[in-house]
Amino acid sequence: MANAHKYVYLFSEGNGSMRELLGGKGANLAEMTNLGMPVPQGFTVTTEACTQYYNDGRQINDDIQAQIYEYLGKMEEICGKKFADPENPLLVSVRSGARASMPGMMDTILNLGLNDTVVEGLAKFTDNPRFAYDSYRRFIQMFSDVVMELTKKRFEEIIDEVKAEKGVTQDIDLDTDDMKRLVVLFKEFYKKEKGEDFPQDPKVQLMEAVKAVFRSWDNPRANVYRRMNEIPYDWGTAVNVQSMVFGNSGSNSGTGVAFTRNPATGEKALFGEYLINAQGEDVVAGVRTPSPISKLHEEMPEVYDQFAAIANRLEQHYKDMQDMEFTIENGKLYMLQTRNGKRTAAAALKVAVDLVDEGMIDEQTAVCRVEPKQLDSLLHPQFDPEALKKAAVIGKGLAASPGAACGRVVFTAEDAKEWHDRGEKVILVRLETSPEDIEGMQVAQGILTVRGGMTSHAAVVARGMGTCCVSGCGEIVVDYDAKQFTLGGNTYHEGDWISLNGSTGNIYGEAIPTVPADPGSGYFGRLMGWADKYRQLKVYTNADTPRDAAQGRAFGAQGIGLCRTEHMFFEGERIKAMREMIVSDNTEDRKKALAKILPYQQGDFEGIYEAMEGLPVVIRFLDPPLHEFLPTKEEDIAEIAQEMGLTVEKLHNVISSLHEFNPMMGHRGCRLAVSYPEIAEMQTTAVINAAINVQKKHPDWTMVPEIMIPLVGEVKELKFVKDVVVKTADALIAASGLDMKYEVGTMIEIPRAALTADEIAKEAQFFSFGTNDLTQMTFGFSRDDAGKFLNAYYEHKIYESDPFAHLDQNGVGRLVKMAAKLGREARPDIHLGICGEHGGDPTSVEFCHGAGLDYVSCSPYRVPIARLAAAQAAIKNPRK
Amino acid sequence: MANAHKYVYLFSEGNGSMRELLGGKGANLAEMTNLGMPVPQGFTVTTEACTQYYNDGRQINDDIQAQIYEYLGKMEEICGKKFADPENPLLVSVRSGARASMPGMMDTILNLGLNDTVVEGLAKFTDNPRFAYDSYRRFIQMFSDVVMELTKKRFEEIIDEVKAEKGVTQDIDLDTDDMKRLVVLFKEFYKKEKGEDFPQDPKVQLMEAVKAVFRSWDNPRANVYRRMNEIPYDWGTAVNVQSMVFGNSGSNSGTGVAFTRNPATGEKALFGEYLINAQGEDVVAGVRTPSPISKLHEEMPEVYDQFAAIANRLEQHYKDMQDMEFTIENGKLYMLQTRNGKRTAAAALKVAVDLVDEGMIDEQTAVCRVEPKQLDSLLHPQFDPEALKKAAVIGKGLAASPGAACGRVVFTAEDAKEWHDRGEKVILVRLETSPEDIEGMQVAQGILTVRGGMTSHAAVVARGMGTCCVSGCGEIVVDYDAKQFTLGGNTYHEGDWISLNGSTGNIYGEAIPTVPADPGSGYFGRLMGWADKYRQLKVYTNADTPRDAAQGRAFGAQGIGLCRTEHMFFEGERIKAMREMIVSDNTEDRKKALAKILPYQQGDFEGIYEAMEGLPVVIRFLDPPLHEFLPTKEEDIAEIAQEMGLTVEKLHNVISSLHEFNPMMGHRGCRLAVSYPEIAEMQTTAVINAAINVQKKHPDWTMVPEIMIPLVGEVKELKFVKDVVVKTADALIAASGLDMKYEVGTMIEIPRAALTADEIAKEAQFFSFGTNDLTQMTFGFSRDDAGKFLNAYYEHKIYESDPFAHLDQNGVGRLVKMAAKLGREARPDIHLGICGEHGGDPTSVEFCHGAGLDYVSCSPYRVPIARLAAAQAAIKNPRK
- Chain B residue with the nearest C-alpha to that of A719: B798
CB A440, CB A416: distance < 8 Å: yes
Judging contacts by C-beta atoms under 8 Å, the chain A residues touching residue B660 are 782, 784-785, 788
Look at the alpha carbons of B426, B431, B434, B436 in this order and tell me if their dihedral is positive or negative: negative
From the list A671, A780, A812, which residue is nearest B789 (CB)? A671
Judging contacts by C-beta atoms under 8 Å, the chain B residues touching residue A799 are 714, 716
Cβ–Cβ contact A793 with B under 8 A: yes
Summarize pLDDT for A777-797 with one digit per residue, the tens: 999 998 878 877 888 898 888
Contact B776 A665 (CB under 8 A): yes
pLDDT computed for residue B286 by the predictor: 59
Query: Which of A182-191, A301-310, B248-257 shows the lowest per-residue confidence on average (mean pLDDT)?
Result: B248-257
Contact B788 A666 (CB under 8 A): yes
Mean pLDDT of chain A: 91
Buried b (16+ CB within 10 A) or exposed e, A286-300: bbeebbbbeebeeeb
- Chain B residue with the nearest C-alpha to that of A657: B788
Distance from CA of A713 to the nearest CA of B (A): 6
From the list B716, B756, B798, which residue is nearest A716 (CB)? B798
- CB contact residues (below 8 A), chain A span 413-472, against chain B: none
Q: Give the mean model confidence (pLDDT) for residues B77-97.
A: 93
Confidence of residue A182 (pLDDT cuts 50, 70, 90): very high
pLDDT at B457 over 80: no
Contacts 24+ apart (CB under 8 A), A172-180: A175/A130, A176/A129, A176/A130, A176/A133, A179/A130, A179/A133, A179/A134, A179/A136, A179/A137, A180/A133
Contact A811 B667 (CB under 8 A): no
Which 8-state DSSP code applies to residue A743? E
Q: Which amino acid belongs to residue A399?
A: A
Summarize pLDDT for A553-596 with one digit per residue, the tens: 989 999 999 999 987 787 778 888 999 999 998 999 999 999 99
Contact B808 A752 (CB under 8 A): yes
pLDDT computed for residue B465 by the predictor: 66
Mean pLDDT of chain B: 91
Contact B716 A798 (CB under 8 A): yes
* Maximum mean pLDDT: which of A795-799, B531-535, B646-650: B531-535
Interatomic CA distance for residues B7 and B241, integer angstroms: 13
Summarize pLDDT for B572-613 with one digit per residue, the tens: 788 889 999 999 989 999 999 999 999 999 999 999 999 999
Contact A776 B665 (CB under 8 A): yes
Q: Give the mean model confidence (pLDDT) for residues B485-500.
A: 93
The residues of B assigned a catalytic role are 457, 835
Summarize pLDDT for A103-132 with one digit per residue, the tens: 777 778 999 999 999 999 999 988 889 989
What DSSP line would sit under A764-832, residue for residue?
A: -SEEEE-HHHHHHHHHT--HHHHHHHHHHHHHTTS-SS-TTTS--TTTHHHHHHHHHHHHHHH-TT-EE
Mutate to test the interface with A, among B233, B662, B722 (most CBs of A within 10 A): B662
Distance from CA of B445 to the nearest CA of A (A): 28
- CB contact residues (below 8 A), chain B span 617-656, against chain A: none
Catalytic residue, chosen from A50, A835, A848, A858, is: A835
Judging contacts by C-beta atoms under 8 Å, the chain B residues touching residue A785 are 660-663, 665-667
Contact B750 A665 (CB under 8 A): no
Residue B71: beta bridge partners?
none
Interatomic CA distance for residues A682 and A686, integer angstroms: 6
Q: Give the mean model confidence (pLDDT) for residues A811-836.
A: 96
Contact A785 B756 (CB under 8 A): no
Summarize pLDDT for B317-345 with one digit per residue, the tens: 999 999 999 999 999 999 999 999 988 88
Catalytic residue, chosen from A380, A457, A831, A849, is: A457
Q: Give the mean model confidence (pLDDT) for residues B662-674.
A: 94
Mutate to test the interface with B, among A233, A626, A671 (most CBs of B within 10 A): A671
Judging contacts by C-beta atoms under 8 Å, the chain B residues touching residue A749 are 780
Confidence of residue B1 (pLDDT cuts 50, 70, 90): very low
Contact A752 B780 (CB under 8 A): yes
Q: Give the mean model confidence (pLDDT) for residues B302-308.
A: 97
Interatomic CA distance for residues B230 and B379, integer angstroms: 22
pLDDT at B293 over 80: yes
Summarize pLDDT for B680-713 with one digit per residue, the tens: 999 999 999 999 999 999 999 999 999 999 999 9
Confidence of residue A283 (pLDDT cuts 50, 70, 90): low
Contact B720 A798 (CB under 8 A): yes
What DSSP line would sit under B111-138, residue for residue?
A: EET--HHHHHHHHHHHT-HHHHHHHHHH
Of the CA atoms within 13 Å of residue B113, those in its CB half-sphere come to 26
From the list A755, A778, A798, which residue is nearest B674 (CB)? A798
Judging contacts by C-beta atoms under 8 Å, the chain A residues touching residue B773 are 780
Summarize pLDDT for B374-395 with one digit per residue, the tens: 887 787 667 887 888 888 899 9
Mutate to test the interface with A, among B749, B752, B791, B816 (most CBs of A within 10 A): B752
Distance from CA of A787 to the nearest CA of B (A): 9
- A 10 A CB-CB count for A800 gives 17
- Chain B residue with the nearest C-alpha to that of A792: B675
More confident residue, B4 or A555: A555
ipTM of this model? 0.82
Judging contacts by C-beta atoms under 8 Å, the chain A residues touching residue B671 are 781, 789
pLDDT at B466 over 70: no
Cβ–Cβ contact A600 with B under 8 A: no
Summarize pLDDT for A69-108 with one digit per residue, the tens: 999 999 999 999 999 998 889 999 999 999 988 877 777 8
Helix axes A47-55, A202-216, angle to 10 degrees: 80
pLDDT computed for residue A1 by the predictor: 45
CB B47, CB B238: distance < 8 Å: yes
Cβ–Cβ contact B788 with A under 8 A: yes
Buried b (16+ CB within 10 A) or exposed e, A29-39: bbbbbebebeb
Query: Which of A570-574, B25-29, B152-156, B696-700 shows the lowest per-residue confidence on average (mean pLDDT)?
Result: A570-574
From the list B660, B784, B785, which residue is nearest A785 (CB)? B660
Q: Give the mean model confidence (pLDDT) for residues B805-824.
A: 96
Pairing of strands A271-276, A497-501: unpaired
From the list B711, B781, B796, which residue is nearest A720 (CB)? B796
Mutate to test the interface with B, among A788, A804, A809, A814 (most CBs of B within 10 A): A788
CB A404, CB A500: distance < 8 Å: yes
Confidence of residue B36 (pLDDT cuts 50, 70, 90): very high
CA angle B858, B862, B864 (to 5 degrees): 115
Contact B810 A784 (CB under 8 A): no
Contact B714 A811 (CB under 8 A): yes
- CB contact residues (below 8 A), chain A span 664-683, against chain B: 664-667, 671, 674-675
Backbone angles phi, psi at A484, to 5 degrees: -155, 160
CB B815, CB B754: distance < 8 Å: yes
Query: How many contacts (CB atoms, under 8 Å) link A and B?
Result: 168
No. of helices (H) and no. of strands (E), chain A: 35, 31
Cβ–Cβ contact B808 with A under 8 A: yes
pLDDT at B370 over 80: yes
The gap from C-alpha B481 to its chain's centroid, in whole angstroms, comes to 31
More confident residue, A227 or A175: A175
User: Model pTM?
Assistant: 0.82
- Chain A residue with the nearest C-alpha to that of B781: A665
Summarize pLDDT for A347-389 with one digit per residue, the tens: 999 999 999 999 999 999 999 999 998 887 787 667 887 888 8
No. of helices (H) and no. of strands (E), chain B: 35, 31
- CB contact residues (below 8 A), chain A span 683-722, against chain B: 711, 713-714, 716-717, 720
- A 10 A CB-CB count for A756 gives 22
% of chain A beyond a pLDDT of 70: 97
Cβ–Cβ contact A790 with B under 8 A: no
Query: Which residues touch B587 (CB under 8 Å, ≥6 apart)?
Result: B676, B678
Interatomic CA distance for residues A683 and A674, integer angstroms: 14
Task: Select from A347, A318, A357, A362 the least CA-distant residue to A534.
Answer: A362
CB A297, CB A304: distance < 8 Å: yes
